[in-house]
A and B are shown apart, each in its own frame.
Chain A
């Protein structure tokens, strides 16, 4: 089973949901419709593809694109030593995508971090709170329009003595 096989299989299993596919540095990269994420991920996790490990989930902010946020998922097959990257673009207003936390436990915190940093919401996430920033922090600091010098200290700056 080589890289082309998984792309062909995805095309066959999800007609219309695969928007773009190719390879990058030898690993398959697939752009899908956001609504198909859970189904595609479940498909990849099972035999024969066995991408049982969610290596990373992250997000990229492209402020100039109409579909501003791009979700990026990396999966790894321990059995076959193969990787695959899944991308899905989300709109600028109210970006939302399905949660993978039911399929992978580690998706829980990865998605909380993405929510914290980019404000992407995850439908079906059990506990969607900020992970890194504190309660009361406003905005999402890794969005490109977050002001570079904006500080939100938890208490007032000390007066110099």
Chain B
């Protein structure tokens, strides 16, 4: 056969596309935001990994980056933002506060955002260095690649 062609499974193609086009919604509340900015800007350049499109509307984004301390008072807002995101969606807990409450073991702070929303990747550190964040992003991409992809037009078998 003349010309070039490749063969693949549709699932694999879809996951390849999804893992390299992560539109992210930065939910930045605290000092981790500086590291987020550093990661997102030219020096570390999150765009090299296909996650450069920052969306400030949860409805247009695939990846929720929760960056910084989440207080009990803020928890309903985070939950609403998560619920507004359309499938498929992934959540990264960025920094010690979002992972476990961090140093704030007190009356005001949620002890890990997984008390509120499901989390895919936990990035520890106070704050995590940009390399750690990129490593977490690569881990998320591996996870997306390994996941079964949900096709909206796929025939329901049951």
Chain A residues at the B interface, C-beta cutoff of 8 Å: 132-134, 141, 146, 150-155, 157-158, 160-161
What residues of B have a CB within 8 angstroms of the CB of A141 in the complex? 106-108
Decide: B72 and A154 in contact? CB cutoff 8 A.
yes
A154 to B117, CA, bound (A): 14
What residues of A have a CB within 8 angstroms of the CB of B106 in the complex? 141
What residues of B have a CB within 8 angstroms of the CB of A152 in the complex? 72, 107
What residues of B have a CB within 8 angstroms of the CB of A155 in the complex? 75-76, 79, 116
What residues of B have a CB within 8 angstroms of the CB of A154 in the complex? 72-73, 75-76
Interface magnitude class on chain B:
10 to 19
- Binding site of A, secondary structure by majority: helix, strand, loop or mixed? loop
What residues of B have a CB within 8 angstroms of the CB of A146 in the complex? 107
B:78-118 near A, CB below 8 Å? 79, 106-108, 110-111, 114-118
B:7-63 near A, CB below 8 Å? none
Contact status of A158 and B117, CB under 8 A, knowing A141-B108, A150-B107, A153-B110? yes
What residues of B have a CB within 8 angstroms of the CB of A134 in the complex? 72-73
28 A-B pairs (CB sep. < 8 Å)? A132-B73, A132-B108, A133-B108, A134-B73, A141-B106, A141-B107, A146-B107, A151-B107, A151-B111, A152-B72, A152-B107, A153-B72, A153-B110, A153-B115, A154-B72, A154-B73, A154-B75, A154-B76, A155-B75, A155-B76, A155-B79, A155-B116, A158-B114, A158-B115, A158-B117, A158-B118, A160-B114, A161-B118
Chain B residues at the A interface, C-beta cutoff of 8 Å: 72-73, 75-76, 79, 106-108, 110-111, 114-118
What residues of A have a CB within 8 angstroms of the CB of B76 in the complex? 154-155
What residues of B have a CB within 8 angstroms of the CB of A151 in the complex? 72, 107, 111
A151 to B107, CA, bound (A): 5
A157 to B117, CA, bound (A): 9
A26 to B107, CA, bound (A): 37
Q: A83 to chain B: closest CB distance in Å?
A: 30
What residues of A have a CB within 8 angstroms of the CB of B108 in the complex? 132-133, 141
A22 to B59, CA, bound (A): 61
Q: A139 to chain B: closest CB distance in Å?
A: 9
A155 to B73, CA, bound (A): 10
With A134-B73, A151-B111, A154-B73 known, 8 other A-B pairs at CB within 8 A are A132-B73, A133-B108, A141-B107, A151-B107, A152-B72, A154-B75, A155-B116, A158-B118
A134 to B76, CA, bound (A): 11
Sorted nearest first, the 3 A-B pairs with minimum C-beta distance are A141-B107, A134-B73, A157-B115
A124 to B33, CA, bound (A): 41
A153 to B78, CA, bound (A): 13
A87 to B44, CA, bound (A): 52
Q: B81 to chain A: closest CB distance in Å?
A: 15
Q: A72 to chain B: closest CB distance in Å?
A: 22
